[in-house]
Amino acid sequence: IGVGLVGFGLFFLLFGILLYFDSVLLAFGNLLFLSGLVFIIGLRRTFTFFFQRPKLKGTSFFFGGLVVVLMRWPILGMLLEAYGFISLFR
């Protein structure tokens, strides 16, 4: 279930970007991706991954970008999410 959710999340993210940053598709893709991540590695490990002390800056940018996308500013939100994603996984 988790791999399917992550796959659909990535599909919706890509499709939302291809359709000129459609905010509904991007928000749906983000939510599917995060829920799939929780199904794959578990709730506790997901929480500890995102809220480690050295990763708080990346986490705040990632979730801040998610909130901005949900508020229907998709380009700014995706830029914030991309910076947060890079900060989390470097």
Ordered by start, the domain boundaries in the chain are 1-51, 53-89
3 neighbors 35 (Cβ within 8 angstroms): no
pLDDT tens across 44-87, in order? Answer: 999 999 999 999 999 999 999 999 999 999 999 999 999 999 99
pTM: 0.88
Q: According to the model, what pLDDT value does residue 19 have?
A: 94
In angstroms, the CA 17 to CA 11 distance is 10
DSSP state of 71: T
